[in-house]
């Protein structure tokens, strides 16, 4: 191979879309916890309720700030008035919980019966005095994490468009700034502000647990970059200001609608970057932001090397092993890229939906990583077909399959190690600090297998039992 050789092109395929994933309404599970003063009302049927109730497990018993507006036959046949019904329920929510925002989650049913949620919301909002944000997170159009995308895209429209003039006001408005300032006096803040380079305001988007938010914010601070706000913030009342010309950057690969909304409707400039998943991704993410801000990044190469070195014990377990992503949460490309850098061979990257523009930098980094690690280009399979995938898994015999819970136990019973994909959505995986946590997840089945390896019971289905769905 010569040094001038160009990385090969990535291979994209599209199958039938017959795959298992969570319904996008599941985003309420983490968003109601993230946005503390919100209330999520899912307008749908028993099917939606049953899914949420079972998927959220114990959280359901902790008086969650979400509920179903369960549609009955009278709602479907329009014998009942949608507006009156929603008003009745929202008033009850206001009375019982007094939230700062009610998010209506539109479902498949509201789509099919064409319930005009976007039309009803402003009227009802004016009447009851609580903002109502509408997100159509339905299974007709979206998969799993894309639910968050629809909610944040709607929230983007609610961000204030003018920075308040008064400094103290700004402090309240901007949770991150005040978090980092810890209530210091104005003069101190001015001194501290001088620690930041002069650059246009930057707002990050994507819902992350608060410790990860703080972590990434501080990571950028080390480069002299100030984060003016996050979409979403801890509270709805703290949504960041987004003025025309602000820079925005995503932290998760499934936020393409939010990115589009910020660019088109809020006239913000999108920094297209790989996502801060894995130390390689985090470094590339910070570099892209620095580049957009005209800042030379410092210390990143050492930082990345140090993180890789600290994970050597885990890396030894996975080097040279193969991995197969069945695809269900859109984190697949970023995770695959990280695992290739970590020395694994990726056989297939299944993914529900591939936005090549929004994920452009991530895809470039994937290509570059494959080239540098001398690893074959994996095929990216959009809208995969689980049946075909399981055939391929039986053929390829990967060392690890990253898949949903529907397939995990049956695959394990056939001697194929699996990692449950949903955990990647809920675990803290962003930034330098959390890279080890990703490998903790990835290596868990391998470590377990190592512990049990001499027992001779890795295949636990009888010969002749159907191998497939």
Partner 1 sequence: MKLAYWMYAGPAHIGTLRVATSFKNVQAIMHAPIGDDYFNVMRSMLERSRDFTPVTTSVVDRHVLARGSGEKVIDNIVRKDVEGSPDLIILTPTCTSSILQEDLHNFVEQAQMSAKCDVMLADVNHYRVNELQAGDRTLEQVVKFYIEKARKKGELPTAKTSKPSVNILGISTLGFHNHHDCTELKRLMADLGIEVNLVIPEGASVHDLKKLPQAWFNLVPYRELGGMAAKYLELEFGTPCVDITPMGVVETARCIRKIQEVLNAQGADVDYEEFINEQTLYVSEAAWFSRSIDCQNLTGKKAVVFGDSTHAAAMTKILVREMGINVVWAGTYCKYDEEWFRKEVSEYCEEVLITEDHGLIGDAIARVEPSAIFGTQMERHVGKRLNIPCGVIAAPIHVQNFPIGYKPFLGYEGTNQVCDLVYNSFTLGMEDHLLEIFGGHDTKEVITKGISAGADMNWSKEAKATLQQIPGFVRGKVKRNTEKFARDRQVSEITLEVFYAAKESVGA
Instruction: By CB under 8 A, name the binding residues for partner 1.
Output: 17-25, 43, 45-47, 49-51, 53-55, 57, 60-61, 64, 66-73, 75-76, 80, 85-86, 88-89, 92-93, 108-109, 111-113, 138-144, 352, 386-387, 390, 404-410, 413, 460-461, 465-466, 468-469
CB 120 to partner 1: min, Å: 12
Six-digit token pair at 230?
């996050």
CB of 199 to partner 1, least distance (A): 41
In the complex with partner 1, the residue whose CB is nearer, 76 or 315, is 76
Which CB atom, from 131 or from 352, has the smaller least distance to partner 1?
A: 352
User: Which CB, 153 or 393, lies closer to partner 1?
Assistant: 393
Task: Tell me the C-alpha distance between 155 and 157, whole Å.
Answer: 5
Shortest approach of partner 1 to residue 381 CB, angstroms? 16
> Closer to partner 1 at the Cβ: 264 or 466?
466
Q: At what angle do helices 435-452 and 332-341 cross, to 10 degrees?
A: 70
CB of 446 to partner 1, least distance (A): 21
Minimum separation from the CB atom of position 67 to partner 1 (A): 5
Shorter beta-carbon distance to partner 1: residue 19 or 275: 19
Q: How many other C-beta atoms lie within 10 A of the C-beta of residue 280? A: 23
Closer by beta carbon to partner 1, 17 or else 245: 17
263: Cβ–Cβ under 8 A, 6 or more apart, which residues? 248, 269, 270
- To the nearest whole angstrom, how small is the minimum distance from the Cβ of residue 409 to partner 1? 5
Rounded Cα gap, residues 385 and 370, in angstroms: 25
Pick the closer one to partner 1 by CB: 60 or 180: 60
Q: Decide whether 91 or 437 has the Cβ nearer to partner 1.
A: 91
The least distance separating partner 1 from the CB of residue 193, rounded to whole angstroms, comes to 46
Using alpha carbons, list the distances in angstroms from residue 28 to 33, 39, 150, 251, 313: 8, 9, 11, 19, 36
Give dist(CA 275, CA 384) in Å, integer.
23
Query: Please, what is the minimum distance in Å from the beta carbon of residue 461 to partner 1?
Result: 6
What CA dihedral angle connects 212, 214, 220 and 225, to 10 degrees?
A: 140
Distance from C-alpha of 377 to C-alpha of 90, rounded to nearest angstrom = 51
Element (H, E) at 41: strand 38-44
- How many CA atoms lie less than 13 Å away from 249 in the CB half-sphere? 31
Going along 71-219, which residue ranges are E strands? Answer: 101-106, 132-136, 202-205
Are 202 and 290 a contacting pair, CB within 8 Å?
no
Cα distances (Å, whole numbers) of residue 169 to 66, 166, 320 = 31, 5, 55
381 strand-pairing partners? 13, 350
CB-nearer residue toward partner 1: 99 or 378: 99
Nearer to partner 1, 14 or 291 (CB): 14
Q: Give the residue among 19, 94, 111 at the shortest CA–CA distance from 384.
A: 19
Minimum CB distance to partner 1, residue 10 (Å): 24
Between 291 and 469, name the residue whose CB sits nearer to partner 1. 469
Sequence-distant (≥ 6) Cβ neighbours of residue 159 within 8 angstroms: 231, 239, 240, 241, 242, 266
What are the distances in angstroms from CA 19 to CA 56, 384, 388, 433? 21, 6, 10, 33
Sheet holding 202-205, edge to edge: 227-231, 202-205, 247-250, 269-270
Least distance CB 117 / partner 1 (angstroms): 13
Helix (H) or strand (E) holding 260: helix 256-264
The residue with tokens 């027992």 is 455
Closer CB to partner 1, 407 or 430, in the complex: 407
Element (H, E) at 368: helix 360-373
CB of 68 to partner 1, least distance (A): 5
Nearest distance from residue 107's CB to partner 1, in Å?
Answer: 9
Helices and strands in the chain, H and E counts: 21, 14
């Amino acid at each position: 191979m010569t040094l001038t050789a160009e990385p090969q092109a990535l291979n994209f395929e599209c199958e039938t879309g017959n795959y298992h994933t969570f319904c996008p309404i599941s985003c309420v599970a983490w968003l109601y916890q993230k946005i503390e003063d919100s209330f999520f009302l899912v307008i749908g049927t028993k099917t939606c309720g049953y899914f949420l109730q079972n998927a959220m497990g114990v959280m359901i018993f902790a008086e969650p700030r979400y509920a179903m507006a369960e549609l009955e036959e009278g709602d479907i046949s329009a014998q009942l008035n949608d507006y009156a019904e929603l008003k009745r329920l929202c008033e009850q929510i206001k009375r019982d919980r007094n939230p700062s925002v009610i998010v209506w989650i539109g479902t498949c049913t509201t789509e099919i019966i064409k319930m005009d949620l976007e039309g009803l919301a402003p009227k009802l909002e004016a009447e009851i005095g609580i903002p109502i944000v509408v997100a159509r997170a339905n299974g007709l159009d979206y998969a799993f994490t894309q639910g968050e995308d629809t909610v944040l895209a709607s929230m983007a429209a609610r961000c204030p468009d003018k920075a308040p003039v008064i400094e103290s006001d700004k402090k309240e408005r901007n949770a991150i700034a005040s978090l980092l300032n810890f209530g210091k006096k104005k003069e101190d803040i001015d001194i501290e502000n001088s620690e930041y380079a002069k650059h246009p305001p930057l707002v990050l988007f994507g819902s992350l647990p608060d410790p990860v938010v703080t972590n990434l914010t501080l990571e950028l601070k080390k480069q002299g970059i100030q984060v003016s706000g996050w979409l979403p913030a801890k509270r709805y009342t703290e949504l960041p200001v987004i003025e025309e010309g602000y820079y925005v950057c995503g932290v998760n690969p499934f936020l393409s609608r939010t990115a589009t909304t910020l660019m088109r409707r809020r006239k913000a400039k999108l920094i297209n970057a790989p996502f801060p998943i894995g130390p390689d991704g985090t470094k590339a993410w910070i570099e892209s932001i620095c580049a957009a801000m005209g800042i030379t990044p410092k210390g990143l190469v050492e930082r990345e090397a140090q993180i890789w070195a600290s994970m050597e014990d885990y890396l030894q377990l996975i080097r040279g092993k193969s991995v197969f992503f069945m695809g269900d949460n859109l984190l697949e490309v970023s995770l695959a890229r990280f695992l290739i850098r970590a020395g694994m061979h990726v056989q297939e990257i299944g993914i529900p939906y591939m936005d090549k523009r929004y994920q452009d930098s991530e895809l470039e980094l994937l290509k570059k990583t494959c080239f540098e690690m001398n690893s074959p280009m994996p095929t990216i399979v959009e809208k995969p077909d689980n049946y075909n995938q399981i055939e391929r898994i039986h053929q390829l015999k990967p060392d690890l399959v990253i898949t949903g819970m529907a397939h995990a136990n049956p695959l394990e019973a056939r001697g194929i190690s699996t990692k449950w994909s949903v955990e990647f959505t809920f675990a803290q995986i962003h930034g330098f600090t959390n890279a080890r946590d990703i490998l903790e997840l990835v290596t868990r089945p391998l470590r377990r297998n190592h512990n049990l390896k001499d027992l001779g019971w890795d295949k636990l289905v009888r010969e002749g039992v159907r191998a497939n769905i």
